[in-house]
């Protein structure tokens, strides 16, 4: 049976309240239920548009985070099946982009409900268009691994790609991540540290990775950080022999990832056929 309700996925301001679109505000006012990454910020947002939450004063609000998203998805699906009007928001920006919400959307689709995206603020796009780097092709990678070894292995897999790279990063790790980027991709690679996007202290620091590493080695950036890094010039593939491929495959498998993941990553970075790479990876996984 097709659900009669609607799930509206609403982008909310990163910092400047004026970035909330009229359509987004209307969707929030019309909701029966708001599923929010942070219920406190959701209540503040509703207060700003004059739509109080709670009994008789506006929509109900429930939390959605990694630990409860699966259960919340089932609840949302049940609400949609009875005609509910549900809005999904993250703490700031566009839901699902390194934020909870994928399971909610998947459950709504599974229930046959209509899913309506209301586009708006996005730290990925705001940083990309302000960085001064090519925007025709880019790759968003969310938060890189916390540990340096895993970070460097990820960056190795990206070294030959011609796409502009976009990462989220904690200000506490930004300096170390920039150092790993410089070590793996080369200090001359152009990059930008975008922080506090749309807020009063918004800043774009554009320079080579070597200079950015030196700048943030001692003093960490303040506020939310998005890193934008130029792609490889020409996009040439990394030349690895079979033994080197097996060694890199072993490192990927040691992270708990599958042989298929390793084959896909190494085929991308070397330019060799995936079937050929998979045979080498499979040998290593059996060994």
Q: Which pLDDT score, from 0 to 100, does residue 261 have?
A: 80
88 falls within a domain: yes
- Mean pLDDT over the full length of the chain: 91
Cβ atoms of 245 and 156 closer than 8 Å = no
CATH assignment of the domain containing 41 = 3.40.1010.10
Half-sphere exposure of 140 (CA within 13 A, CB side): 14
Do residue 137 and residue 223 come from a single domain? yes
Q: Which pLDDT score, from 0 to 100, does residue 235 have?
A: 44
Do residue 32 and residue 109 come from a single domain? yes
Q: Which pLDDT score, from 0 to 100, does residue 286 have?
A: 61
Q: What is the mean pLDDT of residues 132-138?
A: 94
235 falls within a domain: no
* Cα 97 from Cα 14, distance rounded (Å): 13
Do residue 188 and residue 253 come from a single domain? no
Reported confidence tier of residue 243, pLDDT bands at 50, 70, 90: confident
237 falls within a domain: no
Do residue 105 and residue 134 come from a single domain? no
Half-sphere exposure of 91 (CA within 13 A, CB side): 8
Asked if pLDDT for residue 284 goes beyond 90, the answer is: no
Do residue 129 and residue 220 come from a single domain? yes
Reported confidence tier of residue 57, pLDDT bands at 50, 70, 90: low
Do residue 113 and residue 150 come from a single domain? no
Reported confidence tier of residue 287, pLDDT bands at 50, 70, 90: low
List Cβ neighbours of 102 (8 Å cut-off, separation of 6 or more): 69, 96
- Angle of helix 274-286 relative to helix 259-270, nearest 10 degrees, comes to 140
234 falls within a domain: no
Last residue of a domain, one of 185, 204, 229: 229
Q: What is the mean pLDDT of residues 13-31?
A: 96
Asked if pLDDT for residue 88 goes beyond 90, the answer is: yes
Reported confidence tier of residue 54, pLDDT bands at 50, 70, 90: low
Reported confidence tier of residue 1, pLDDT bands at 50, 70, 90: low
Asked if pLDDT for residue 234 goes beyond 60, the answer is: no
Strand 138-140's sheet: what is its strand order? Answer: 138-140, 164-169, 225-229, 190-195, 203-208
Hey, which of 38-52, 73-87, 250-264 has the most confident mean pLDDT?
A: 73-87
Do residue 70 and residue 147 come from a single domain? no
Last residue of a domain, one of 86, 121, 156: 121
140 falls within a domain: yes
- Please tell me the pTM assigned to this model: 0.78
Do residue 117 and residue 10 come from a single domain? yes
Q: Which of 211, 157, 144, 208 is nearest to 184 (CA)?
A: 157
CATH assignment of the domain containing 185 = 3.30.950.10
Do residue 55 and residue 157 come from a single domain? no
111 falls within a domain: yes
Do residue 39 and residue 146 come from a single domain? no
Do residue 10 and residue 115 come from a single domain? yes
Last residue of a domain, one of 68, 101, 121: 121
How many C-beta neighbours within 10 Å does residue 139 have?
14
The rounded Cα 255 to chain-centroid distance in angstroms is 20
The tally of domains found in the chain comes to 3
Asked if pLDDT for residue 133 goes beyond 90, the answer is: yes
What pLDDT digit, counting tens, does each position of 111-125 carry? 999 999 999 999 999
Q: Which pLDDT score, from 0 to 100, does residue 82 have?
A: 94
Q: Which pLDDT score, from 0 to 100, does residue 276 have?
A: 87
Domain that holds residue 251: 242-286
Do residue 247 and residue 161 come from a single domain? no
Q: What is the mean pLDDT of residues 59-86?
A: 94
What pLDDT digit, counting tens, does each position of 199-232 carry? 999 999 999 999 999 999 989 999 999 999 999 9
Whose structure tokens read 């202290």? 201
Q: What is the mean pLDDT of residues 46-53?
A: 84
């Amino acid at each position: 049976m097709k659900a009669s309700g609607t799930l509206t996925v609403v982008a909310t301001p990163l910092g400047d309240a004026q970035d909330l679109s009229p359509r987004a505000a209307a969707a929030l006012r019309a909701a029966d239920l708001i599923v929010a990454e942070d219920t406190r910020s959701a209540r503040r947002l509703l207060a700003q548009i004059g739509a109080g939450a709670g009994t008789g004063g506006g929509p109900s609000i429930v939390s959605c985070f990694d630990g409860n998203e699966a259960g919340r998805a089932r609840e949302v699906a049940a609400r949609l099946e009875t005609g509910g009007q549900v809005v999904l928001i993250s703490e700031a920006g566009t839901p699902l982009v390194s934020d909870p919400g994928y399971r909610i959307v998947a459950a709504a689709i599974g229930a046959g409900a209509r899913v309506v995206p209301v586009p708006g603020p996005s730290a990925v796009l705001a940083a990309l268009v302000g960085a001064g780097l090519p925007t025709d092709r880019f790759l968003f990678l969310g938060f890189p691994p916390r540990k340096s070894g895993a970070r460097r292995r990820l960056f190795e897999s990206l070294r030959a790609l011609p796409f502009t790279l976009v990462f989220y990063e904690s200000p506490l790790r930004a300096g170390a991540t920039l150092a790993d980027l410089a070590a793996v991709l080369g200090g001359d690679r152009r990059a930008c540290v975008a922080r506090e996007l749309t807020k009063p202290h918004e800043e774009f620091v554009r320079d080579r990775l070597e200079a950015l590493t030196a700048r943030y080695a001692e003093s960490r950036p303040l506020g939310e950080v998005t890193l934008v890094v130029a792609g490889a010039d020409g996009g040439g593939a990394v030349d690895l022999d079979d033994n080197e491929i097996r060694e890199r495959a072993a490192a990927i498998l040691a992270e708990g990832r599958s042989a298929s993941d390793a084959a896909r990553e190494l085929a991308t970075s070397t330019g060799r056929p995936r079937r050929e790479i998979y045979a080498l990876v499979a040998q290593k996984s059996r060994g």
